[in-house]
Amino acid sequence: MKKVNIGIIGGGLMGKEAASSFARWFAINDLPVQVELTAVCDVNQEVLSWYRNVPSVKLLTTDYKELLADEEIDVVYVALPHHLHKQYYLEVLTAGKDLLAEKPFGVDLEAALAIKNQADRLGRFVRCSSEMPFLPGPQRVVKEVESGRLGQVIEIKAGFLHSSDLDPDKPINWKRQVSFCGEIGVMGDLGMHVLHIPLRLGWKPERIYAQLQKIITQRPDGKGGMAECDTWNNATLNTEVKIADNLVPMTLEMKRMAPGETNTWYIEIMGTEGGVKYSTKDIKTLWTFKRSNEQWWQRTDLGFKGMPFTTITGAIFEPGFPDCFMQMLAAYIAERAGLLNGRFGCVTPEEALNSHYIFDAALRSFNNQTLEKITYFKTE
């Protein structure tokens, strides 16, 4: 069986999540590719020492160049703050490695463009993270749309909602400061997750009116003082997309301050003949709408069945975050090996770049208070 050696740069929240998925790779049934996490780089020694729990890891380093010089590493997963994406992604590619990037795939449009162009030039396999669509519910949403059962699409709503920032006493961190997370703020944090399925279905918005909000502008700095919290907390993107020559409203919500929501990802698509909606708030439930002599919402209880990659987990058991994250990694490894076989794939560099064209237009729309046309082209 083929084996892929993985390195991680940035061993924080997401680095650990990836390590945990790789460590139980044997749970996947139908993917004839082994993976092994062999090297981790982080500038924080405390973070690095956690990886002593992972028996396959041979190299723990604070120097990413040491990791990139390791000829046995095939793929590098980079999970770093956004202002570092461009430099590290470009260096990973130049070192001859394939890249599993984290969103937002660069701190801004210019960075995303440079990363995509470098990937194209060097012919490396590059995909970007977005795991929620790998749950059975979103997979069924995609199938409903592709089946044509919805008739003419009337409206699309999608979003990703958090609420931990509602606590004004939560100390500042890099995700709440423009210099680290970028001017796009919450759009960079949550937007790729929201756009993955719409863009995969070919729904590239043509016009946008953005509502952006900075709600809490100062936070404790963790040293007894206060620090500026200058990112957008919430974004509501009112967009318009052309589907079969009809202009259709598509509303995209990305919110760090959505009362009552911990990590709620949702999508709703309504058509003249049918509809479909799914939210991780009710992780097992798929809602489908049918119109006949009466109008029906049908609730289907989903289990593990419907994951793109079958695993040892029983079909009736409910999935969670670690499961969809592992499915996303499986999709990356399978597609890289030419084994995706029609299954849903990770965000492509082109999709990641397109998300930046949308966020860039959103900033213009908000700053000028205008309805902006979105142009999907820019040279480096």
What Rg value do the Cα atoms of the chain yield, rounded? 21
Output 10 or 271, the one with its CB closest to ligand NAD: 10
- For 2, the token pair is 């083929």
Number of C-alpha atoms within 13 angstroms, CB side, residue 91?
A: 15
Q: How far is 75 from 85, CA to CA, in rounded Å?
A: 16
Output 11 or 138, the one with its CB closest to ligand NAD: 11
CB of 103 to ligand NAD, least distance (A): 5
CB of 8 to ligand NAD, least distance (A): 9
Q: Which of 171, 166, 158 is nearest to 259 (CA)?
A: 166
Going through the chain in order, the beta strands assigned E by DSSP cover 2-9, 33-41, 59-61, 75-78, 98-101, 126-128, 153-161, 207-213, 218-220, 226-228, 234-243, 246-255, 264-271, 274-279, 285-291, 295-301, 372-373
CB of 84 to ligand NAD, least distance (A): 6
Torsion angle, alpha carbons of 181, 119, 87, 107, to 10: -20
Phi, psi of 330 (to 5 degrees): -60, -40
Output 255 or 271, the one with its CB closest to ligand NAD: 255
Number of C-alpha atoms within 13 angstroms, CB side, residue 310?
A: 7
Under 8 Å CB-to-CB from 336, ≥6 apart: which residues? 4, 75, 98, 125
CB of 365 to ligand NAD, least distance (A): 23
CB of 115 to ligand NAD, least distance (A): 12
CB of 64 to ligand NAD, least distance (A): 6
CB of 133 to ligand NAD, least distance (A): 12
Instruction: Please check whether residue 190 is in contact with residue 254, taking contact to mean a CB–CB distance below 8 angstroms.
Output: yes
Q: How far is CA 62 from CA 9, 94, 104, 140, in A?
A: 9, 20, 24, 42
Output 188 or 274, the one with its CB closest to ligand NAD: 188
Residues that bind ligand NAD (CB under 6 A): 9-14, 41-44, 47, 64, 79-82, 84, 102-103, 129, 131, 189
CB of 249 to ligand NAD, least distance (A): 27
Output 98 or 102, the one with its CB closest to ligand NAD: 102
Q: Which residue has the tokens 């919290």?
A: 229
Residue of closest CB approach to ligand NAD: 12
Strand partners, 65: none
Output 5 or 21, the one with its CB closest to ligand NAD: 21
Output 150 or 181, the one with its CB closest to ligand NAD: 181
Output 10 or 274, the one with its CB closest to ligand NAD: 10
